Every structure is written in structure tokens, then in C-alpha cells.
A and B are shown apart, each in its own frame.
Chain A
């Protein structure tokens, strides 16, 4: 370790060292490094565990494993656990400097990517404002003038003309509704949702969601079976938007199921998370569509044949789940059905 410090001393680095895993982890929290070297063979907690914990603290920290020849396979294991690279002992000062430089470059890239992603989000919000003003305002004016014209001409219009006016009003009304849905997605104010967070019972969320989609399910003769391993611990969240999330997934399941199918909703507690799994045996999602279905405006080819959609329901859903520090994923087979998994962290006792 001393030799490593000596090699780097000539460069413009701030260096801090620890002689075992726990000390190292404390140091990571305090020192907030860009890059961490971890020896896999240490007294106390293992190097692999240290890597995992660093990744959990801050996934942007780059970890480089230093290891003896005998443990190359465990270095590979370490990389699977999130280490960026490994350097077998013994190594030359140049090799050490090189891997350090590469590690720091990687760190810079990670941070830049995050920054870019943030900028993209901001652009999205500005886009919402543009859509709102430039698209909605003129349509609103047209809509208002239609109302006025109909009322002014009411005694002069024949039935056919009246019905054409009505169709125009309906069409413009629908268009404005669609724009508002877009705005809803683009401007879901995550911080506003978070202000309402409080301990929330997931079984209540689920039963409210099922209740609200039940009429649609009955219309297609579908049965929604819910299996909740009671009692589930509460999650920190906003009941309203969580219900919306489950409703969105259930509504999709109903939309893409065949009549008389079953939709199964399971909720379990696993590894400090609540997992809600919603399975249908409907048309499924093709492999090429799967990676994109949580994106804004994405609509699958097969889905469109069944019912037109704005391609926003799942995007809204994803954003709500992520605001709850949760995640959403899907497993699906074309023609056989889909399972959506919503994972929400439970409140730590």
C-alpha cells in the first residue's frame, strides 16, 4: 500500500488510506473519493463485500481491485459485482499510474453522463411549457370560438350543420385532452409527489386499484385474482399516485387480455422490498418492443391493433414508481402474456 501511495504522490491526487474493509467504508463515506482501490484479501469483511457496499453508497465511485495472481478468478467475480478493473500484483509504477488514469477517466464519464441526463430532463420540462402554450392555446381559442359560433348561429343552422359543429367540438376536445395527457407526463412534478409521502398500506392501494378497474374487467368477462401475503409492511409513499400506478398496469392487462382470461396480482415482501406482480395471459410484448415500453410516446405494433394509445401510461407509471425509489420491470412472451413487477422499498424499522 505504501508503494502505491508513493507512486501517486507525484500526481495531483488527494489520497487517503485504510488498512481494513470497515475502516475503508467509513473513509468512503467521509472522504467521498472519486476512485477506490480495494485489496480482495483483507482481515475482517471481504473485499467483495466492500465493493458491494461502496456501490450501494455511491454507484458513481470507481472501484479498482488489486489482487495477487492466485485470485484472478475472484477479481473477475469482483468485476461482476461492480468493480471497474483489476490490477494483478506485482505491478510496475507505470501500470499503476495507467490504471489510475483510466479509472479517473471513467469516473469523469459517469459524472458527465449523469449531468447530461439531468439536462435532458430539464429540456423535457421546457418542452412541456412549449407544448402547453404553442399547441394548446390556439386550439383552445378555436374551441372557444366554435362554442360561440354555435350559440350565435343556433337559429340558422340546420340539423346536419349542427351535427358537423358537434363533431368539430368533439374532435378538438379530444385533441386538447391528449395534449393535457402529454403535459401530465412531461410535468409530473416528482417533488410535489414526494411532499405527500407518508406510510402507506399497499394492500389498500391494491384493493382501491382493483375496485376502480373492476367494471372494465367485467365487461370483458375477466377475473382479477389478488393474492396478497398479508400483512405487508407499509411503504413510504403517496397513496393516490401509487393507486394510479397499479391501475395503469391493471388497465393494460385488461386491455390486452383475451375475454374470459385471468389476471393475477400478487404482492409479497422480499429483501426489504414489496414486490407487486401483475400477470396476464394476453397478447404479450415482442422481444424487440420490450426494452422501450416504459419510454415516453412508445406504442407497440401489436398493441396498436387492439386499441389506440398515447404511449404514455407506462411512462407515467415508471416515473411515479421511481419517485418512490422503486423500480418497475416486465417479463413477457409474445402471444402468451406479460408480467409486470413493481418493487417498492419498505420503511426501514
Chain B
């Protein structure tokens, strides 16, 4: 039986994804990828995932935010742990001095800024998975 935890990355930059995917696979996770929010949502509906790694700036703007909101409203996906990975904050932080971006835009479990330190990424992923498990039981 396959006991690997299933993760999905939704990010429109294949080169970026390659790096992250490699880290996660080395740590023995099964990793799927979608390169746009539409395909990503389809994948989430058709298959069970334990965690979503989501980019914010995709397509014509902050499409990742829209997707995260959609997921939070979806009865089946509401409990899915979402880890936002973004380079966005450093670009717009000056508009919101001293404020973290995520609570303003989107309800998310965790946010990491690009570039992500591999060790930190693995820590966050494993702690989010444990948290979700604890909630379930």
C-alpha cells in the first residue's frame, strides 16, 4: 500500500516548481503539479491531497488568492491545509508597512516567502500535516 503523503504544487513557473518538487520528493512525499489555478482546482476535486503548496502571483495577477478563497468555500476542500509560497510580499510590503500580507488577503495556514530554504519548507510541510491529522482524530 502506498503510504506516501500526497502533495500538490500550484505555481505557474516550471523552473521554480522543479526545485521545490525535488526537495519534497527527496523527503519521500508524492508530488503532483498544476501550472495554473484552473488545472489545480480540477486536480483537487478529482483526487485526494494532504496538502496544497500555492503560489500567489499567477496569470494576470493574484490568481492564487482567488483560488485559495474558492477552496475555503468548497465543502469538500475546506479543511485542506494550504501553504502559500510567494515572492509577492517583498514587492508590495511597502504599501502595507509592518503588516504581513496574508491575513489581509486570504485565510491560509502558513506563508513562506520565496526563495524557500529547503529545510524550512520540509519543517512547515510536516508540521501542517501533523496539525491536520490532529484535527481529524
Identity of the chain A residue whose Cβ is nearest the Cβ of B17 in the assembled complex? A141
Q: Give A210 Cβ to nearest chain B Cβ, in Å.
A: 20
Q: Mark B92-115, 1 if CB is under 8 A from A, else 0.
A: 001101000000000000000011
Q: Is B90 a contact of A145 with CB atoms below 8 Å?
A: no
Q: Point out the residue from B26, B87, B95, B97 that lies within 8 Å of A189, measured CB to CB.
A: B95
Q: Is A147 a contact of B118 with CB atoms below 8 Å?
A: yes
Residues of chain A from 129 to 183 with CB closer than 8 A to chain B in the complex: 132, 136-138, 140-145, 147-149, 151-152, 180, 183
Q: Give A323 Cβ to nearest chain B Cβ, in Å.
A: 13
Q: With A136-B87, A184-B94 given, is the CB distance from A142 to B15 under 8 Å? A: yes
Q: Is A180 a contact of B119 with CB atoms below 8 Å?
A: no
| Total cross-chain contacts (CB, 8 A) | 55
Q: Point out the residue from A132, A141, A149 that lies within 8 Å of B15, measured CB to CB.
A: A141
Tell whether A240 is near chain B: CB-to-CB under 8 Å.
yes
Q: Point out the residue from A136, A147, A184, A240 that lies within 8 Å of B19, measured CB to CB.
A: A147
Q: By DSSP majority rule, is chain B's interface helix, strand, loop, or mixed?
A: helix
Query: What number of B residues sit within 8 Å (CB to CB) of A?
Result: 21
Tell whether A192 is near chain B: CB-to-CB under 8 Å.
yes
Q: Give A312 Cβ to nearest chain B Cβ, in Å.
A: 14
- In the bound assembly, the distance between CA atoms of A141 and B20 in angstroms comes to 10
Tell whether B28 is near chain A: CB-to-CB under 8 Å.
no
Q: Mark A215-242, 1 if CB is under 8 A from B, else 0.
A: 0000000000000000000000000100
List residues of B whose CB falls within 8 A of some A CB: 13, 15-16, 18-20, 22-23, 26, 87, 90-91, 94-95, 97, 114-119
Q: List 13 A-B contacts (CB under 8 A).
A: A141-B15, A141-B16, A142-B15, A143-B115, A145-B19, A147-B117, A147-B118, A148-B118, A151-B23, A152-B26, A152-B118, A180-B90, A192-B95
